Amino acid sequence: MIKHILFLVCLASSLSGSAQLTVTNSSYIFVDGNGFTEAANVAPLFVTGAINLNEADSKIYLRNEAQIIQGNTASTNSGVGQLSVQQTGNTNQWAYNYWCSPVGSNTATSGNEVNRVDLIDESTGLTTSTNALFTSGYDGSSTPSLTISDRWLYSYVTSDDYSEWINLDETSPIQPGLGFTMKGNPSASQLYDFRGKPNSGTINNSIAANQFTLIGNPYPSAIDALLFIHDTDNANVDNNSPSTTGALYYWEQQPTDHFTENYIGGYASYTISSGGTPSFVPAQFFAYDSSGNEIPLPPPGSTGSKVAGRYIPIGQGFMVEGSPSTPANSLVYLKNSHRIFHKESSGDSSFFRTSNTNVSSEDSSSEAIQYDDNGLAILPNDFKRFRLNVLFNNNFKRQLLQNFHNTATDGFDYGLEAPSSSDSATDAFWTQNDEAMVIQAHSFDIEKRIPVIIRAENQQSIDFSLFDIQNFDTSQPIYIHDLENDIYVDLREQNYSINLPAGDYTTRFEITFQNAETLDIADITDEDFMVFQNTKNSELTVLNPNGLDIKSVTLFDITGKIVINAQNLGAQNDYSFSTQSLSEGVYVANITVASNQSISKKVVIKN
């Protein structure tokens, strides 16, 4: 029993048993997140069992990014008191935020309950708030009282049709875990106070093959996208990998006005590998007709500026898509095991944040993934990556991401790839089994050919360029191959621009790593080189009897350390390198020729 207490609470996650937290009438717990920094097994408030907010005046206040974590089995929070947790919206009166309530109604029923938009209050003090007002007018406002327009309240369940958005009002029941849309107010930054019974335990919503559902983070804590996407609880029961594509889609909008035909916006795409390597492409902004269909943008076209992180903050809504093989009557699950204490202010988590906000290349809380100045992940050494920018008519740019990893296949790689969320008549995408992809993965092969599909509703210029090239050898070309003109352009050296008539170009463009001349070169073999040590002279000798143009000779010791690294050697018949400083042992010599083919040979060094 807790009574009249104002303090910081930290219960270590090593607690066990069926303990629960009960707050009696006219009592409250106040948790100040400023007293806590993320670390393993840390939460400002950790409850192994259920929470009972016993009476109407039983309160828990989470402030300054404080969060509650509950044990994996807790799912029966009860009582008619209230948890109060805050989140800040970041759009003006013309643009949508996607939300998901962390609380439900606080009736006498145990367990998660439906929530209503009218549970959102304006914070007026440390523990006080005033209920928001609602208007049927177009615009909300923040003064003199917070007023929300109910014209823009919608949910979206198992559909791919704009007309199937479900209109809500302030009294509409919203199922736990289901997201909803709401426009902001002229200040474009509004602090909201969610008050009700805290959600806990497993929460599910419907999902269908090739259909989208708007869900979100339903808890008063952050959730880890890695744990949500790669859930392996309960012996593969109630997991998300069989039913979803593993991609999360975040809406971003360029504020204009309330007319659909003047909307400019789109969905950013995010996924993460089972090892924790994220993949993200920004929203491609489209314009829309009065029926909500995507149309090519008039100038000035743009892409989104916001970046999704691994940790999904309190209140954040997002779209998920059912995989093509999703069985009928399937569900998408959120669980206590997905929850984690992670502050927005520490990086890699924010309410679909602006690029470069709160993310530092030195941020140690990002599970070993670091970020560059653009908010993009810096890859571990076993990954390669590049982004292809396709610019239409000098104003409409689609960014496509290509991953390379030895675990990737030519089929769908869950956590490494993301299907496109758009179906515009002007666009660009990768393709897999006739499905449009904005993020794709392969195992790297120098002979790989990767199709690039171009749709152009009207005649226009197309410009191809590269961005964010990671872990490729600096000498490795990345070509755009125009098959019709038989042109190879190394996009690492220059962009490729062409004017195209209207049409769908499904077989004209591809990414390759060898040009036509390289493709005609025969493979090198062991017989092309001899490598041995001249013990008399303490030299490594490389014989090149066929006079091949050698780009490099690299010698590695048994730990993988480079001990000799000779570059741009030309086409001599033999080469010698001193081994006097080397220890006796077995080494590996790697020889790379001008066509970027390589061969390795073992050599024993004795001095």
pLDDT confidence band for 419 (50 / 70 / 90): very high
| Distance between start and end Cα atoms, the chain | 78
Residue pair 320/269 in contact (Cβ under 8 Å)? The answer is no
**What letter represents residue 317's amino acid?**
G
Residue pair 214/178 in contact (Cβ under 8 Å)? The answer is yes
Long-range contacts formed by 355-362: CB under 8 A, 24+ apart: 355/282, 355/305, 355/306, 355/307, 356/307, 359/307, 359/309
Q: How far apart are the C-alpha atoms of 141 and 175, rounded to whole Å?
A: 27
Structure confidence at residue 13 (pLDDT): 35
Residue 15 has pLDDT above 50, yes or no: no
Q: Tell me what the pLDDT averaged over the chain comes to.
A: 86
> DSSP assignment, residue 207?
E
Q: Which two tokens stand for residue 575?
A: 């080469």
- Mean pLDDT lowest for which of 9-23, 233-247, 340-354? 9-23
CA angle in degrees (0–180, nearest 5) for 547-552-554: 125
Structure confidence at residue 30 (pLDDT): 94
The residue-averaged pLDDT of 561-576 equals 88
Task: List pLDDT tens digits, range 482-528.
Answer: 999 899 999 999 999 999 999 999 999 999 999 876 666 677 888 89
Residue 103 has pLDDT above 90, yes or no: yes
What is the residue-wise DSSP string for 59-82?
EEEEETT--EEE-TT----EES-E
Q: What percent of the chain has pLDDT over 90?
A: 54
- Mean pLDDT lowest for which of 24-33, 280-289, 401-410, 497-506? 280-289
Task: List pLDDT tens digits, range 220-248.
Answer: 999 999 999 998 765 555 688 889 999 99
pLDDT confidence band for 267 (50 / 70 / 90): very high
- Going from the C-alpha of 540 to that of each of 548, 579, 606, the distances in angstroms are 18, 6, 10
- Mean pLDDT lowest for which of 154-163, 375-384, 405-414, 550-559? 550-559
Is the pLDDT higher at 293 or at 313?
Answer: 313
Structure confidence at residue 256 (pLDDT): 82
Q: How far apart are the C-alpha atoms of 21 and 47, rounded to whole Å?
A: 7
Structure confidence at residue 328 (pLDDT): 85
Residue 6 has pLDDT above 80, yes or no: no
What is the residue-wise DSSP string for 259-304?
-GGG-EEEEEEEEE-TTS-EEEEPPBPEEE-TT--EEPPPSS--B-
Structure confidence at residue 525 (pLDDT): 84
The residue-averaged pLDDT of 124-131 equals 84
Residue 117 has pLDDT above 70, yes or no: yes
Structure confidence at residue 355 (pLDDT): 53
User: Which residues partner with 451 through β-bridges?
Assistant: 510
Residue pair 262/256 in contact (Cβ under 8 Å)? The answer is yes
